Structure 1
């Protein structure tokens, strides 16, 4: 079974988060909390009442409005997404016992920047 979550817009990248942490620890914590709040707004819409069988493989599709941010900078935001899946109770933890791996693909969509997350249950046998 595959589950899909779509988060509209974009999340902070590694450079944004690093800058916030260098300003002061409170600003860094606030940035993390804000990014997780955004994720938490979308998770229940897509996964409410779903029982996921673990482990899973996660595919991230990053749709940016332009090519200004580097892929590694963009993909850092998976930290916020995974932590939000744990906080919301969808995942018991985000360790290797529950996540077998993930992949990232990057696209440009100036009119509809978003993040599509595909959670695919692994066949255990």
Structure 2
């Protein structure tokens, strides 16, 4: 199953910056991003999974951000999959593993997540 999230998601540096701005800003950023992801999940996925393997393909508008900073958004995605009930959890029993690939797409930045039932 494929889930596509349009645009770029905040990375680790953006999250740290928000956390340092005020004691509530980091939580607010996480909440807002997860709500946007949940909306896309509800539009695109009608299935529930017990355990999965995930492949994340990150399409960034440029190469300015480090790959580990970009992939931090995986936390938001996994939490949103759990919040929508697509996954019952995001622990060792539900997420068997994941992989990441990174590309540049100046016109259409996005994240493609391939969800494979295991």
Q: TM-score range with shorter-chain normalisation?
A: over 0.9
Paired position in structure 1 for 2:11? 13
1:109 aligns with 2:105: yes
5+ long unaligned stretches in structure 1: none
For the aligned residue pairs, the C-alpha RMSD in angstroms reads 0.8
Q: TM-score, normalised by structure 2?
A: 0.96
For residues 118 and 61 of structure 1, the distance between their equivalents in structure 2, rounded to whole angstroms, comes to 8
Paired position in structure 2 for 1:27? 25
For residues 78 and 16 of structure 1, the distance between their equivalents in structure 2, rounded to whole angstroms, comes to 14
5+ long unaligned stretches in structure 2: none
Q: Residues 1-125 of structure 1: matches in 2 within 5 Å? A: 3-48=1-46, 50-52=47-49, 54-122=50-118
For residues 34 and 48 of structure 2, the distance between their equivalents in structure 1, rounded to whole angstroms, comes to 22
Structure 1 segments (4+ residues) deviating >3 Å = none
Q: Bigger radius of gyration, 1 or 2? A: 1
The number of equivalent residue pairs is 118
